[in-house]
Amino acid sequence: MAIATTRRCRLGRLMASHIPCAYNRCETGIGIFACQGCERVFCKKHSFEHRQELAKELDKVVKEHDVILTQLQSFETTIDVTSHALLDQIDKWEQHAKKMTQKAVDEARSKVLQSLSDNNHQLTKECRLLIEDIRPSWESEDYVETDLKKWRRQLDKIKDEFSMPKNIRIENDLLSLKHMLNVISTPRIPPTPRPYAVQSRSTKECFEKYCGFIRVEESGKLVIHTGNSDMDASVYGAKLYTHGTHRIPVKIDKMQDNYWIFIGIVSSSFPANVNASAIKSAYGWAASKKACPFVYLQGIEMNGSHYAYNGDICKNDIIELILNCTERKIQLVNKRTNNRYEINVNIKQCPFPWKIAVTLYYSGDRVRLV
């Protein structure tokens, strides 16, 4: 009896020391096969099933391997370059870069065009300042070689700045999409114009172009009506006037019956005419007997008495025609009587440059620049 009890105890201890099968649905199996991979113990039946599961997983791995290997081996010839994830990233970057590049180009082009417009506007001002500097010396023939060299340098500088402005430059940074193109424009500093004092000067004028029966003699100082009958004939001064005040003394050498000679100005932009007084830009007076004093405004004959003009000009009188470009008016002074007459000039109707004009009507009438 004691021996049986001892055996049962030993058997109980042995049963208690056995490891059950790791398969959770196995109710009676004892774990006898240990898996080194997952470190679990299975009964004989479930050990075989566990092995089959591992074999299936290995088959899946091998199949995936074969698929990938096939893709790798056919990459050079069959890969779709539009489907790879990395290539998709590059495509997106390319589209973004194109947009940024086009944006940078458009902005740079717009800035350059605006800078060129501003630069040309400033150069236009400099051109006008240059001609304002030149014109007084040109009209008075008061210049020397050093003046010509200075003006040539200024003109060459303007030409260079027009073709390739030094105050505009383009910088590019290919490593930066945001700052790929950068337009740098700095303000131009215009040259300081030469101070110009408005002067009243006696201008060395001469007659040049004429229309009708006119003869010009004595190097352009004397004009004579050469027609066989009474008709309009006009002569025009050689010089152009845009600035300052200029005095042109004129002598009435001969005026038949002290009747009519027109003396005044016209705009050089209007074509010459046999009757200068009828040109739409004409302003001036008719040297005439007091019975018919006339003033001419924009080529229209007006009653001189309405403009305080009494026509006190006759043969052998020396009169002075004064062109005041600054105040846009002309004056006529009779040296014999000291009478002075004045007309305001509408610059829209008679734009600069001005030139003097004389119209003779009677055959043999003569006018001289003195």
CATH number of 200-369: 2.60.120.920
Per-state percent for the chain, helix, strand, coil, to nearest 5: 35, 25, 35
The C-alpha atoms of residue 152 and residue 130 are separated, in whole angstroms, by 10
pLDDT of residue 12: 45
pLDDT of residue 63: 85
pLDDT of residue 15: 46
Strand partners, 185: 168
pLDDT of residue 136: 76
pLDDT of residue 196: 42
Q: Which of 17, 38, 14, 18 is nearest to 47 (CA)?
A: 38
pLDDT, tens digit, for every residue of 93-150? 788 888 888 888 888 888 888 888 888 888 888 888 888 778 777 776 677 677 787 8
pLDDT of residue 173: 58
Question: 205 with 356: CB under 8 angstroms?
Answer: yes
Mean pLDDT per block of 10 residues along the chain (370 residues) reads 45 56 78 81 83 83 80 65 69 83 83 82 82 76 73 82 78 57 58 48 83 94 93 95 92 89 95 95 85 88 88 91 94 94 95 96 94
Q: Which of 282, 283, 280, 301 is nearest to 292 (CA)?
A: 301
The C-alpha atoms of residue 359 and residue 276 are separated, in whole angstroms, by 6
Alpha helices in 74-84 (DSSP H): 75-78
Instruction: Tell me the chain's radius of gyration from C-alpha atoms.
Output: 54
pLDDT, tens digit, for every residue of 252-273? 999 988 788 999 999 999 999 9
DSSP 8-state code for residue 164: S
Question: 341 with 287: CB under 8 angstroms?
Answer: no
Question: 26 with 46: CB under 8 angstroms?
Answer: yes
Classify residue 309 as exposed, middle or buried by CB count within 10 Å of its CB (0-12, 13-18, 19+): buried
Question: 168 with 126: CB under 8 angstroms?
Answer: no
Q: In whole angstroms, how far apart are CA 13 and each of 17, 27, 33, 73?
A: 6, 20, 21, 62
pLDDT of residue 216: 95
pLDDT of residue 221: 96
Strand segments (E) across the chain: 33-34, 41-42, 168-172, 181-185, 200-202, 207-211, 214-217, 222-225, 233-237, 245-254, 261-267, 283-287, 294-297, 300-303, 318-324, 329-334, 340-344, 354-360, 366-369
pLDDT of residue 82: 56
